Amino acid sequence: MLATSLAPAARGALNSLGLSKAPAETRVVVAMSGGVDSSVVAAMLALEGYDVVGVTMQLYDHGEATHRKGACCAGQDIHDARDVAARLGVPHYVLDYEERFREKVIEPFARAYVAGETPVPCVACNQHMKFADLYAAANDLGADLLATGHYVVSREDESGGRALYRAADPDRDQSYFLFATTRAQLARVRFPLGAMSKARVRELARKFGLVNSEKADSQDICFVPSGHYSEMIERLIPGASVPGEIVHINGRVLGRHNGVVHYTIGQRRGIGVAAAEALYVVALDAANARVIVGPRSALAVTRLRLRDVNWIGGGEFADLPANGLPVAARVRSTRSPASALLMRTGEIDFMEPESGVSPGQACVFYESVDPHARVLGGGFIVAS
């Protein structure tokens, strides 16, 4: 039933998660967010006879989000995870990570926006919470593996480790948000839903009688109950919205704004100035409180510089060809990977211009543009 591939084992027959142990002797901690995906993972593994332990991270003030459609890791979600675990007859723990989540995800998110960047909190949550703190908790619980409900595929590579691939269902693929996962983490993390469609997952949830079988999917910025991130930033960093000028790329001052935190690169609507031509936000100069606008053509870039590059492809990043490695690079989760050259200096050269690229966003690279291609790694955009 499981949709995982097999990992290497030293001896004996492999179980469905790739270990040479009987399922009953294999402890798997399942990250249960309260949503349908992770609940189905827990149910699948429990029914196969694995020693399943459910763990839910409480990440922010759950009182604010208890009744908000699309929330996760708070309020009703914790109750749903607990109910599913009880139905399955597996232990369930709730870990209070509110302070860590604030320090590792929420506050850096706010500071990045104040600096004129466009951060990706889901990447930070996976990198610093799910595959760091939760990963450590799984170790403390004596788990052999950690399993999540992400739509991504992992399987054995040519070196005996595990490689990450895009999900079978391109509409559900979450590989963009997992590029920062390390090789060591991949060795002990499993993604049982990687080869499934969302429709199949909901079908299984109904078959298993799970209370959350029809529950709405969680939203990207789960810790913003109102949906207005600028309000949250103002609460965290009073005075963050510094007024300034809206300036055309030709130097003309077109108007005033109430703070760069209200703008993102590529934005067209709600800029606050009237003009004969369609204007887009093409840059944010936070240091001088300036929003720079221009025509759509001004958004086009062909080269990006990255920081904090994480490499999970074959070999070592430092050994990439001097003239660059052909890859497919993806600058937004909603955008298809595009042909590019990855340089070992951490630069990306696109074959065709990309638009709407902002510092702080993730750039993820794949082996090819194939919808099931291997994830090679990624980094965060510094400049273009």
- 122 is a catalytic site residue: no
| Burial class, 257, CB count within 10 angstroms (exposed 0-12 / middle 13-18 / buried 19+) | buried
Q: Which stretches within 257-325 are classed as H helix?
A: none
Give the integer Cα–Cα distance in Å for 308 and 311.
Answer: 10
Catalytic residue among 72, 73, 125, 363: 125
Give the integer Cα–Cα distance in Å for 50 and 235.
Answer: 45
**Torsion on CA atoms 65, 215, 227, 225, rounded to nearest 10:** 0
Residue of 284, 307, 310 lying closest to 377 (CA atoms): 310
Pairing label, strands 145-147, 92-96: unpaired
Which distant-in-sequence residues (6+ apart) come within 8 Å of 370 by Cβ?
A: none
Give the integer Cα–Cα distance in Å for 282 and 291.
Answer: 8
Pairing label, strands 92-96, 51-58: parallel
| Burial class, 62, CB count within 10 angstroms (exposed 0-12 / middle 13-18 / buried 19+) | middle
CB 168 within 8 A of CB 372: yes
Angle CA 247–248–254, to nearest 5: 55
- 125 is a catalytic site residue: yes
First CA to last CA across the chain, in angstroms?
45
Catalytic residue among 72, 73, 122, 222: 222
Q: Which residues partner with 325 through β-bridges?
A: 342
* Tokens at 72, concatenated: 């996760």
* Tokens at 318, concatenated: 């430092």
Which distant-in-sequence residues (6+ apart) come within 8 Å of 311 by Cβ?
A: 317, 376, 377
Q: Which residues does the annotation mark as catalytic?
A: 125, 222
